[in-house]
Amino acid sequence: MAAAGYTERITAVAERIVEAKDQATVHALLTEGVHALGADNAVFVSFIRDNADLSACRFMLVCEPDWCRRYLDAGCFAHDPWLAYAAHHSEPIAASSLPVLDAEGQRVIALAQQNGFASAALVPAHSGAGHSRISLLCLGSTSPSFFDGEGFGRFRLGARLIAAELHDWWLARIRRELIVKARITQADLELLRHEHQGHSSKRIAAELHVSKSSINSRFQRMNMKLGVPNRRLAARLAVECGLLNG
Amino acid sequence: MGTATNRAASADARTLSADGRRGEVRFFLQRVAGGLYVEREEIPRRGLRTQQSVQFADAEHFERWCDNDPIRFEHPLLHVNLKRDADELWRYIDANET
Protein backbone atom coordinates (compact mmCIF):
# COMPACT_ATOMS: atom_id res chain seq x y z
CA MET A 1 0.00 0.00 0.00
CA ALA A 2 2.32 2.82 1.13
CA ALA A 3 5.88 3.26 -0.11
CA ALA A 4 8.81 2.57 2.22
CA GLY A 5 9.87 5.59 4.33
CA TYR A 6 6.48 7.14 3.97
CA THR A 7 6.19 7.98 7.67
CA GLU A 8 9.10 10.40 7.41
CA ARG A 9 7.68 11.98 4.27
CA ILE A 10 4.23 12.37 5.83
CA THR A 11 5.67 13.89 9.00
CA ALA A 12 7.71 16.36 6.96
CA VAL A 13 4.62 17.42 5.00
CA ALA A 14 2.55 17.79 8.19
CA GLU A 15 5.20 19.98 9.81
CA ARG A 16 5.27 22.28 6.79
CA ILE A 17 1.46 22.65 6.75
CA VAL A 18 1.61 24.27 10.18
CA GLU A 19 4.06 26.88 8.88
CA ALA A 20 2.32 27.53 5.53
CA LYS A 21 1.62 31.21 4.92
CA ASP A 22 -1.09 30.87 2.27
CA GLN A 23 -3.62 28.46 0.84
CA ALA A 24 -1.65 27.85 -2.37
CA THR A 25 1.23 26.53 -0.27
CA VAL A 26 -1.11 24.31 1.74
CA HIS A 27 -2.61 23.02 -1.50
CA ALA A 28 0.83 22.07 -2.79
CA LEU A 29 1.57 20.31 0.51
CA LEU A 30 -1.71 18.41 0.33
CA THR A 31 -0.73 17.22 -3.15
CA GLU A 32 2.67 16.13 -1.84
CA GLY A 33 1.08 14.35 1.12
CA VAL A 34 -1.45 12.55 -1.07
CA HIS A 35 1.30 11.18 -3.27
CA ALA A 36 3.40 10.23 -0.25
CA LEU A 37 0.43 8.24 1.05
CA GLY A 38 0.25 6.41 -2.27
CA ALA A 39 -3.16 7.76 -3.32
CA ASP A 40 -3.96 9.01 -6.83
CA ASN A 41 -6.52 11.65 -5.93
CA ALA A 42 -7.87 13.53 -2.95
CA VAL A 43 -10.38 16.10 -1.79
CA PHE A 44 -10.06 17.95 1.47
CA VAL A 45 -13.47 19.35 2.43
CA SER A 46 -13.98 21.72 5.32
CA PHE A 47 -17.59 22.45 6.08
CA ILE A 48 -19.89 24.07 8.61
CA ARG A 49 -22.97 22.17 9.56
CA ASP A 50 -25.84 24.09 11.19
CA ASN A 51 -28.33 21.50 12.35
CA ALA A 52 -28.97 19.40 9.21
CA ASP A 53 -27.88 22.04 6.69
CA LEU A 54 -24.46 22.98 5.39
CA SER A 55 -23.81 26.72 5.29
CA ALA A 56 -20.26 26.79 3.88
CA CYS A 57 -18.10 24.26 2.13
CA ARG A 58 -14.47 24.60 1.02
CA PHE A 59 -12.91 22.04 -1.30
CA MET A 60 -9.20 21.60 -1.89
CA LEU A 61 -9.08 19.46 -5.00
CA VAL A 62 -6.24 17.14 -5.90
CA CYS A 63 -8.38 15.48 -8.54
CA GLU A 64 -10.34 16.30 -11.69
CA PRO A 65 -12.00 19.64 -10.79
CA ASP A 66 -15.01 19.07 -13.05
CA TRP A 67 -16.10 16.43 -10.54
CA CYS A 68 -16.61 19.16 -7.95
CA ARG A 69 -18.71 21.26 -10.33
CA ARG A 70 -20.98 18.32 -11.13
CA TYR A 71 -21.16 17.46 -7.42
CA LEU A 72 -22.26 20.99 -6.47
CA ASP A 73 -24.61 21.45 -9.44
CA ALA A 74 -26.40 18.22 -8.51
CA GLY A 75 -26.68 19.29 -4.86
CA CYS A 76 -24.77 16.17 -3.82
CA PHE A 77 -23.62 17.70 -0.53
CA ALA A 78 -27.16 17.30 0.81
CA HIS A 79 -27.05 13.52 0.30
CA ASP A 80 -23.33 12.76 0.56
CA PRO A 81 -22.94 9.71 2.82
CA TRP A 82 -19.20 10.37 3.19
CA LEU A 83 -19.79 13.89 4.55
CA ALA A 84 -22.51 12.50 6.80
CA TYR A 85 -20.03 9.94 8.12
CA ALA A 86 -17.46 12.68 8.82
CA ALA A 87 -20.07 14.75 10.65
CA HIS A 88 -20.63 12.03 13.23
CA HIS A 89 -17.42 10.00 13.36
CA SER A 90 -13.72 10.62 13.76
CA GLU A 91 -12.36 7.18 12.85
CA PRO A 92 -10.72 6.80 9.41
CA ILE A 93 -12.31 4.04 7.35
CA ALA A 94 -12.25 2.54 3.91
CA ALA A 95 -15.33 3.94 2.13
CA SER A 96 -16.29 0.44 1.01
CA SER A 97 -17.02 -0.48 4.64
CA LEU A 98 -19.73 2.18 4.87
CA PRO A 99 -23.14 0.77 3.97
CA VAL A 100 -25.06 3.14 1.70
CA LEU A 101 -28.60 2.02 1.02
CA ASP A 102 -30.39 5.10 -0.31
CA ALA A 103 -30.40 5.79 -4.06
CA GLU A 104 -29.29 9.42 -3.72
CA GLY A 105 -26.29 8.43 -1.62
CA GLN A 106 -25.38 5.74 -4.13
CA ARG A 107 -25.50 8.32 -6.95
CA VAL A 108 -23.05 10.55 -5.05
CA ILE A 109 -20.67 7.63 -4.62
CA ALA A 110 -21.02 6.60 -8.27
CA LEU A 111 -20.04 10.13 -9.33
CA ALA A 112 -16.92 9.91 -7.14
CA GLN A 113 -16.08 6.46 -8.48
CA GLN A 114 -16.27 7.76 -12.06
CA ASN A 115 -13.83 10.56 -11.19
CA GLY A 116 -10.81 8.83 -9.70
CA PHE A 117 -12.27 7.47 -6.46
CA ALA A 118 -12.87 3.85 -7.50
CA SER A 119 -11.54 3.04 -4.04
CA ALA A 120 -11.63 5.65 -1.27
CA ALA A 121 -10.55 6.24 2.31
CA LEU A 122 -12.44 8.64 4.56
CA VAL A 123 -10.40 10.52 7.15
CA PRO A 124 -12.51 12.94 9.24
CA ALA A 125 -10.99 15.73 11.33
CA HIS A 126 -12.78 17.45 14.19
CA SER A 127 -11.72 20.12 16.61
CA GLY A 128 -12.38 20.41 20.29
CA ALA A 129 -13.54 23.99 19.87
CA GLY A 130 -16.88 23.23 18.28
CA HIS A 131 -19.03 20.57 16.79
CA SER A 132 -20.29 22.15 13.60
CA ARG A 133 -16.98 22.84 11.81
CA ILE A 134 -15.78 19.56 10.39
CA SER A 135 -13.26 18.48 7.79
CA LEU A 136 -12.91 15.35 5.71
CA LEU A 137 -9.85 14.20 3.83
CA CYS A 138 -11.09 11.83 1.18
CA LEU A 139 -8.31 9.88 -0.52
CA GLY A 140 -8.95 8.11 -3.78
CA SER A 141 -7.40 5.52 -5.97
CA THR A 142 -8.29 4.48 -9.50
CA SER A 143 -7.54 0.88 -8.45
CA PRO A 144 -10.64 -0.79 -6.99
CA SER A 145 -10.08 -2.21 -3.46
CA PHE A 146 -6.86 -0.17 -3.06
CA PHE A 147 -7.87 0.96 0.46
CA ASP A 148 -9.36 -2.37 1.51
CA GLY A 149 -6.07 -4.19 2.12
CA GLU A 150 -4.28 -5.07 5.33
CA GLY A 151 -2.03 -2.01 5.12
CA PHE A 152 -4.89 0.32 6.01
CA GLY A 153 -3.92 0.33 9.70
CA ARG A 154 -0.53 1.85 9.01
CA PHE A 155 -1.81 4.08 6.26
CA ARG A 156 -4.50 5.60 8.45
CA LEU A 157 -2.01 7.09 10.90
CA GLY A 158 -0.34 9.13 8.18
CA ALA A 159 -3.65 10.13 6.65
CA ARG A 160 -4.97 11.16 10.05
CA LEU A 161 -1.93 13.34 10.68
CA ILE A 162 -2.33 15.17 7.36
CA ALA A 163 -6.09 15.64 7.85
CA ALA A 164 -5.65 16.99 11.39
CA GLU A 165 -2.97 19.47 10.34
CA LEU A 166 -5.06 20.69 7.40
CA HIS A 167 -8.09 21.11 9.65
CA ASP A 168 -6.07 23.07 12.22
CA TRP A 169 -4.59 25.25 9.47
CA TRP A 170 -8.10 26.14 8.29
CA LEU A 171 -9.20 27.05 11.77
CA ALA A 172 -6.13 29.22 12.31
CA ARG A 173 -6.72 30.96 8.98
CA ILE A 174 -10.38 31.67 9.77
CA ARG A 175 -9.34 32.95 13.19
CA ARG A 176 -6.81 35.31 11.60
CA GLU A 177 -9.37 36.50 9.04
CA LEU A 178 -11.88 37.21 11.77
CA ILE A 179 -9.43 39.24 13.80
CA VAL A 180 -8.00 41.16 10.85
CA LYS A 181 -11.00 41.62 8.54
CA ALA A 182 -13.69 41.99 11.19
CA ARG A 183 -11.30 43.99 13.41
CA ILE A 184 -12.25 42.07 16.53
CA THR A 185 -10.87 43.83 19.59
CA GLN A 186 -10.24 42.67 23.15
CA ALA A 187 -13.38 44.59 24.18
CA ASP A 188 -15.38 42.64 21.58
CA LEU A 189 -13.98 39.36 22.90
CA GLU A 190 -15.02 40.38 26.42
CA LEU A 191 -18.58 40.89 25.19
CA LEU A 192 -18.56 37.57 23.36
CA ARG A 193 -17.29 35.84 26.49
CA HIS A 194 -20.26 37.23 28.46
CA GLU A 195 -22.68 36.14 25.74
CA HIS A 196 -21.15 32.67 25.67
CA GLN A 197 -21.71 32.41 29.42
CA GLY A 198 -25.36 33.30 28.88
CA HIS A 199 -25.24 36.72 30.54
CA SER A 200 -28.02 39.19 29.76
CA SER A 201 -27.40 42.72 28.47
CA LYS A 202 -28.47 44.02 31.87
CA ARG A 203 -25.89 41.95 33.70
CA ILE A 204 -23.10 42.76 31.21
CA ALA A 205 -23.94 46.45 31.46
CA ALA A 206 -23.74 46.31 35.26
CA GLU A 207 -20.36 44.55 35.18
CA LEU A 208 -18.88 46.92 32.60
CA HIS A 209 -20.48 50.03 34.16
CA VAL A 210 -22.25 51.12 30.97
CA SER A 211 -25.89 51.30 29.90
CA LYS A 212 -27.86 48.32 28.65
CA SER A 213 -28.57 50.10 25.32
CA SER A 214 -24.83 50.66 24.84
CA ILE A 215 -24.24 46.91 25.22
CA ASN A 216 -26.99 46.12 22.70
CA SER A 217 -25.53 48.62 20.21
CA ARG A 218 -22.06 47.12 20.57
CA PHE A 219 -23.43 43.64 19.93
CA GLN A 220 -25.27 44.90 16.83
CA ARG A 221 -22.08 46.43 15.42
CA MET A 222 -20.12 43.29 16.17
CA ASN A 223 -22.73 41.03 14.54
CA MET A 224 -22.42 43.12 11.38
CA LYS A 225 -18.62 42.86 11.44
CA LEU A 226 -18.80 39.10 11.85
CA GLY A 227 -21.58 38.69 9.31
CA VAL A 228 -23.93 36.84 11.64
CA PRO A 229 -27.58 37.62 12.37
CA ASN A 230 -27.45 37.60 16.17
CA ARG A 231 -25.14 37.63 19.21
CA ARG A 232 -25.73 33.98 20.03
CA LEU A 233 -24.27 33.00 16.64
CA ALA A 234 -21.47 35.54 17.08
CA ALA A 235 -20.39 33.83 20.30
CA ARG A 236 -20.71 30.43 18.66
CA LEU A 237 -18.55 31.53 15.73
CA ALA A 238 -15.92 32.81 18.18
CA VAL A 239 -15.88 29.41 19.90
CA GLU A 240 -15.74 27.51 16.61
CA CYS A 241 -12.74 29.54 15.52
CA GLY A 242 -10.95 29.21 18.83
CA LEU A 243 -11.25 32.87 19.81
CA LEU A 244 -13.07 31.74 22.95
CA ASN A 245 -12.74 28.55 24.92
CA GLY A 246 -15.82 26.37 24.48
CA MET B 1 -25.92 39.64 -15.75
CA GLY B 2 -24.21 41.84 -13.14
CA THR B 3 -20.84 43.53 -13.01
CA ALA B 4 -17.32 42.14 -13.33
CA THR B 5 -14.25 43.68 -11.77
CA ASN B 6 -10.53 43.03 -11.69
CA ARG B 7 -9.70 44.03 -8.17
CA ALA B 8 -6.01 43.29 -7.96
CA ALA B 9 -3.23 42.45 -10.35
CA SER B 10 0.42 41.64 -9.89
CA ALA B 11 3.05 39.68 -11.77
CA ASP B 12 2.21 36.63 -9.65
CA ALA B 13 -1.53 36.81 -8.99
CA ARG B 14 -4.91 38.15 -10.08
CA THR B 15 -8.21 38.60 -8.27
CA LEU B 16 -11.44 38.92 -10.21
CA SER B 17 -15.09 38.97 -9.24
CA ALA B 18 -18.59 39.52 -10.55
CA ASP B 19 -21.76 40.47 -8.78
CA GLY B 20 -25.12 39.37 -10.09
CA ARG B 21 -28.72 38.72 -9.18
CA ARG B 22 -27.90 35.39 -7.56
CA GLY B 23 -24.83 36.55 -5.65
CA GLU B 24 -21.10 37.01 -6.09
CA VAL B 25 -18.45 34.87 -7.82
CA ARG B 26 -14.76 35.45 -7.08
CA PHE B 27 -11.62 34.02 -8.63
CA PHE B 28 -8.07 34.16 -7.38
CA LEU B 29 -5.27 33.08 -9.72
CA GLN B 30 -1.65 32.65 -8.70
CA ARG B 31 1.30 31.27 -10.60
CA VAL B 32 3.06 28.64 -8.52
CA ALA B 33 5.81 26.09 -9.05
CA GLY B 34 4.37 23.54 -11.45
CA GLY B 35 1.46 25.56 -12.80
CA LEU B 36 -1.46 27.81 -11.97
CA TYR B 37 -3.24 27.80 -8.62
CA VAL B 38 -6.92 28.80 -8.78
CA GLU B 39 -9.54 29.54 -6.16
CA ARG B 40 -13.19 29.86 -7.15
CA GLU B 41 -15.55 31.19 -4.52
CA GLU B 42 -19.30 31.49 -4.88
CA ILE B 43 -21.27 33.54 -2.38
CA PRO B 44 -24.99 33.20 -3.16
CA ARG B 45 -27.49 35.57 -1.62
CA ARG B 46 -29.08 32.51 -0.09
CA GLY B 47 -27.78 29.00 0.44
CA LEU B 48 -24.46 27.23 0.49
CA ARG B 49 -21.29 29.31 0.20
CA THR B 50 -18.58 27.34 -1.59
CA GLN B 51 -14.91 27.63 -2.35
CA GLN B 52 -12.92 25.33 -4.64
CA SER B 53 -9.16 25.42 -4.96
CA VAL B 54 -7.22 23.52 -7.57
CA GLN B 55 -3.83 23.58 -9.23
CA PHE B 56 -3.58 23.23 -13.01
CA ALA B 57 -0.42 21.84 -14.58
CA ASP B 58 -1.18 23.06 -18.10
CA ALA B 59 -3.09 25.83 -19.84
CA GLU B 60 -5.30 23.51 -21.90
CA HIS B 61 -6.75 21.84 -18.82
CA PHE B 62 -7.46 25.23 -17.25
CA GLU B 63 -9.15 26.46 -20.48
CA ARG B 64 -11.42 23.42 -20.57
CA TRP B 65 -12.38 23.91 -16.93
CA CYS B 66 -12.98 27.58 -17.52
CA ASP B 67 -15.16 26.99 -20.60
CA ASN B 68 -17.33 24.54 -18.64
CA ASP B 69 -17.94 27.09 -15.90
CA PRO B 70 -21.46 28.58 -15.78
CA ILE B 71 -19.92 32.07 -15.60
CA ARG B 72 -19.38 31.76 -19.35
CA PHE B 73 -23.09 32.56 -19.75
CA GLU B 74 -23.93 34.20 -16.45
CA HIS B 75 -20.94 36.58 -16.35
CA PRO B 76 -19.40 36.62 -19.86
CA LEU B 77 -17.17 39.61 -19.11
CA LEU B 78 -15.73 37.86 -16.07
CA HIS B 79 -15.18 34.76 -18.20
CA VAL B 80 -13.22 36.76 -20.79
CA ASN B 81 -11.19 38.55 -18.12
CA LEU B 82 -10.46 35.28 -16.34
CA LYS B 83 -9.05 33.67 -19.47
CA ARG B 84 -7.08 36.78 -20.39
CA ASP B 85 -5.51 37.06 -16.92
CA ALA B 86 -4.75 33.34 -16.87
CA ASP B 87 -3.11 33.64 -20.31
CA GLU B 88 -0.81 36.35 -18.97
CA LEU B 89 0.15 34.22 -15.97
CA TRP B 90 0.71 31.13 -18.16
CA ARG B 91 3.00 33.15 -20.44
CA TYR B 92 5.01 34.16 -17.39
CA ILE B 93 5.11 30.56 -16.18
CA ASP B 94 6.19 29.27 -19.61
CA ALA B 95 8.85 31.97 -19.95
CA ASN B 96 10.33 31.04 -16.58
CA GLU B 97 10.31 27.33 -17.37
CA THR B 98 12.13 27.64 -20.70
Asked if the C-beta of A74 comes within 8 angstroms of chain B's C-beta atoms, the answer is: no
Instruction: Return the residue of B nearest to A73 by Cα.
Output: B70
* Residue of A29, A35, A44, A61 to mutate, testing the B interface (most B Cβ within 10 Å of its Cβ): A61
Amino acid symbol at A9: R
Q: What is the pTM of this model?
A: 0.84
Measure CB to CB from residue A55 to each of B33, B48, B68 and give the nearest one. B48
Which residue would you say has higher pLDDT here, A147 or A53? A147
For range A55-80, the mean pLDDT: 92
Residue A214 lies in a domain: yes
| Shared domain check, A197 and A137 | no
- Interchain contact A24–B (C-beta under 8 A): yes
Rounded Cα distance between B85 and B89, Å, is 6
pLDDT at A141 over 70: yes
> What b/e readout covers B55-76, taking b as 16+ CB neighbours within 10 angstroms?
bbeebebbeebbeebebeebbe
B10 CA to chain A: closest CA distance, Å?
16
User: What pLDDT is attached to residue A47?
Assistant: 83
Domain of residue A104: give its range. 6-170
B-chain CB neighbours of A27 within 8 Å are 37, 53-55
Tell me: do A90 and A165 sit in the same domain: yes
Across residues A185-192, what is the average pLDDT?
90
Where do the H-state alpha helices sit in A114-243? 152-181, 186-196, 201-208, 212-226, 231-240
B12-38 pLDDT, tens per residue?
999 999 998 888 999 999 999 989 999
At B7, the pLDDT band (50, 70, 90 cuts) reads: low
Question: B2: pLDDT confidence band, cut at 50, 70 and 90?
Answer: low
pLDDT band at A233 (very low <50, low <70, confident <90, very high): confident
Contacts 24+ apart (CB under 8 A), A108-111: A108/A71, A108/A76, A108/A79, A108/A80, A108/A81, A108/A82, A109/A81, A109/A82, A111/A67, A111/A70, A111/A71, A111/A74, A111/A76
- Shared domain for A131 and A215, answered yes or no, is no
Name the domain count of chain A.
2
Are A23 and B65 a contacting pair at CB < 8 A?
Answer: no
In a shared domain, residues A122 and A223: no
pLDDT of residue A145: 87
Q: Is residue A241 predicted with pLDDT exceeding 80?
A: no
- Chain A residues touching residue B39 (CB < 8 angstroms): 23
CB within 8 Å of A135: residues ≥ 6 apart? A44, A45, A46, A47, A86, A124, A125, A126, A163, A166, A167, A170
- Kindly state whether residues A153 and A212 are assigned to the same domain: no
- pLDDT score of A2 more than 60: no
Please tell me which of the candidates A24, A31, A68 has its beta carbon nearest to residue B52: A68
Say if residues B1 and B75 touch (Cβ distance below 8 Å).
yes
**A219 and A147: one domain?**
no
Query: Looking at the partner chain, which of B33, B53, B69 has a beta carbon nearest the beta carbon of A61?
Result: B53
The closest CB to that of A77, out of B32, B48, B65, belongs to: B48
In a domain, A97, yes or no: yes
Amino acid (one-letter) located at A139: L
